[in-house]
Structure 1
Amino acid sequence: MLKRTSLLFLFVAGHFSLQAQQVIPFRITKHNNIIVKTLVNKKDSLDLMFQIAMKEGSISPERQRKADHLIFNKDGISDHNTVSIGKMTWKNIRFLDNQITGHEADGKIGTGLFEGKVFKIDYDNNQFAIYDEKPDLNGFQPVKIIFDQDAFYIPADNIIDDHQQQEAYFVLQSGYSGGILYSNEFAEKNELSNKLRITGEKKLKNSNAENLIIKQGVLPFWKLENFVFKDIPVGFFTGEQQTQKVSYFGADMLRRFIWIFDADREMAYIKPSKYYSEPHYKIN
Structure 2
Amino acid sequence: MKSFLSLCLLSFLASFSSAQNKLPVLKANQPKAVIYEKDNGLKTDWNIDAKVKPDVYTVSKISTRKKVVTVKTDIDSIAVKLRKGEKKDFIILLKNKDSALTRIQSLPPKDFSKMSFKDTLKLQINEQNTIFVKTILNKTDTLLLNFDTGTSELVLTQETLKNKIKSTLKSGSNILQIGKKEYQNLNIYPAQLSGHGTDGRFGWDLFDGMIVELNHDKGIMVVHSQLPSHVKSKYSSLQMKYFNNVFLVEVDIKQGQSKNKSWYLFDTGYQRTAMLDGPLLNEQGFPADQMTTIKKVIMKNAQGKEIPVITSNLQSLSLGNVNLKDIPVQLLSQSRLVGGSRMNILGNEIIKRFNIFLDFQKNRVYIQPNNWVNHTYIESK
Instruction: Name the CA distance, whole Å, in 2 between partners of 1:243 and 1:147.
Output: 16
Residue 212, structure 1, aligned to residue 310, structure 2: no
Question: In structure 1, what residue type is equivalent to 2:165?
Answer: A
Q: Given the alignment of the two structures, is residue 186 of structure 1 paired with residue 280 of structure 2, yes or no?
A: yes
Partner SS state of residue 372, structure 2? coil
Alpha-carbon distance between aligned partners in 2 of 1:242 and 1:134, rounded to the nearest angstrom: 35
Cα distance in 1, alignment partners of residues 133 and 119 from structure 2:
15
Q: How far apart in 2 are the matches of 1:206 and 1:264? A: 30
The equivalent position to 1:96 in structure 2, one of 177, 189, 202, is: 189
**Distance in 2 between residues matched to 1:197 and 1:91, nearest whole Å:** 48
2:363 paired with 1:266: yes
Residue segments in structure 1 that go unaligned for 5+ positions in a row: 1-16, 73-77
Q: Provide TM-score, normalisation by structure 1.
A: 0.83
Query: What is the percent sequence identity of the aligned residues?
Result: 20
One-letter code of the match for 1:167? K
Identify the residue that residue 144 of structure 1 maps to in structure 2. Answer: 239
Q: For each residue in 1:172-212, what CA deviation from the matched residue of structure 2 results, as whole angstroms up to 9, or x when unmatched?
A: 11111100111254344246553111111111000111011
Q: Which has the higher contact order (CA 8 A, sep 6+)?
A: 1
Instruction: Tell me by how many angstroms 1:104 deviates.
Output: 0.3
Tell me how many residue pairs correspond in the alignment.
261
Q: 1:233 to 1:20 in 2, by over 3 A?
A: same
Equivalent residue letter for 1:44: D
Aligned residue for 2:124? Answer: 27
Equivalent residue number for residue 176 of structure 1: 270
Higher CA-based Rg: 2
Cα RMSD for the two superposed structures? 2.4
2:46 maps to which residue? none
CA distance in 1, matches of 2:319, 2:360: 22
Cα distance between partner residues in 1 of 2:130 and 2:311 = 20
User: Letter of the aligned partner of 1:252 in structure 2?
Assistant: E
Following TM superposition, by how much is the alpha carbon of 1:171 offset from its aligned partner in structure 2, in angstroms? 0.7
What one-letter code is carried by the residue in structure 2 that aligns with 1:267?
R
5+ residue gaps, structure 2, are 1-113
Distance 2:148 2:127 in 1: 16
Query: What SS does the corresponding residue of 1:124 show, helix, strand or coil?
Result: coil
- Equivalent in 39, 54, 60 of residue 151 of structure 2: 54
Please say if residues 260 and 286 of structure 2, whose CA atoms lie closer than 8 Å, have aligned partners that are also in contact: no
For residues 105-164 of structure 1, what are the alpha-carbon distances to aligned partners after superposition, in whole Å with 9 as ceiling and x for unaligned? 1111112332211221111112221222210214211112212323221112111222x1
Deviation at 1:218, TM superposition (A): 0.7
- 3-state DSSP class of the match of 1:268? strand
CA separation in 1, counterparts of 2:116 and 2:316?
Answer: 38
In structure 2, the residue matched to 1:250 is 347
Check conservation: 2:194, 2:201, Cα contact below 8 A: yes
Report which stretch shifted further, 210-219 or 182-191.
182-191
Task: Quickly say closer, same or farther: Cα 1:192–1:216, change in 2 above 3 A.
Answer: farther
**Counterpart residue number, 2:217:** 124
